Amino acid sequence: MGEEFYAIIKLVSGEEILSLVLVDDNDGDPVVVLQNPVTMKSFQNQHGVYLKVKPWIEMSDDDFFIIKLDKIITMTETKDEKLIKIYDNFIEDDDSVDVYNPSGQVKPSSKMGYISSVEDARKKLERIFKGLKES
């Protein structure tokens, strides 16, 4: 087994993947082992450039995937610290995947901005509004 490195891989399917990679000789038939592969897509608007990061295979619970070399067009090692940091932050963020709820309902959390009940928020806003009107 070789050494692990971060790589950007272009597959024959046209997909581009960023992953922690290990090349295994596998008895003369080399394969590439991908750990937590992701796809990244850049978007640009008037406020800047943004990257959308998502798992390469979204429905799988596995972290490791094996690809034969004949499915790869090219592979290049990346040492771009910003790109690697974005990748590592995405992989370490365990809250990035929400659990499926068949009813479609999602329970609000503080991460979603839920900090009080509607009634409490209404009372606070009324006090602020009345306070501003009296001044």
Say yes or no to pLDDT of 18 above 60: yes
pLDDT tier at 104 (50, 70, 90 boundaries)? low
User: How many CA atoms are closer than 13 Å to the CA of 39, on its beta-carbon side?
Assistant: 11
Does 133 map to a domain?
no
The answer to whether residue 74 is domain-embedded is yes
What CA–CA distance (Å, rounded) separates 7 from 19? 6
pLDDT of res. 66 = 92
pLDDT given at position 111: 64
Distance CA 51, CA 33 (A): 24
Higher model confidence: residue 105 or residue 9?
A: 9
Per-residue pLDDT at 5 exceeds 60? yes
Q: Could you read off the pLDDT of 45-67 as tens digits, one per residue?
A: 887 888 889 999 988 888 999 99
Assigned domain for 120 exists: no
Tokens of 43: 């978007």
Residue 109 placed within a domain: no
- Kindly tell me if the per-residue pLDDT of 42 is higher than 80: yes
**Can you say whether the dihedral through the CA atoms of 100, 103, 107, 108 is positive or negative?**
positive
What range defines the domain where residue 27 resides? 5-97
pLDDT of residue 112: 67
Q: What is the CATH number of the domain that holds 68?
A: 2.30.30.100
Q: Environment class of residue 18 by beta-carbon count within 10 Å: exposed (0-12), middle (13-18) or buried (19+)?
A: buried
Structure tokens at 27: 């008895």
- The answer to whether residue 116 sits within a structural domain is no
Q: Is residue 58 part of a domain?
A: yes
**Number of C-beta neighbours around residue 34 at 10 A:** 22
121 part of a folded domain: no
| Entry pTM | 0.64
User: How many structural domains does the chain have?
Assistant: 1
Chain centre distance of CA 126: 40
Q: 131 lies in a domain?
A: no
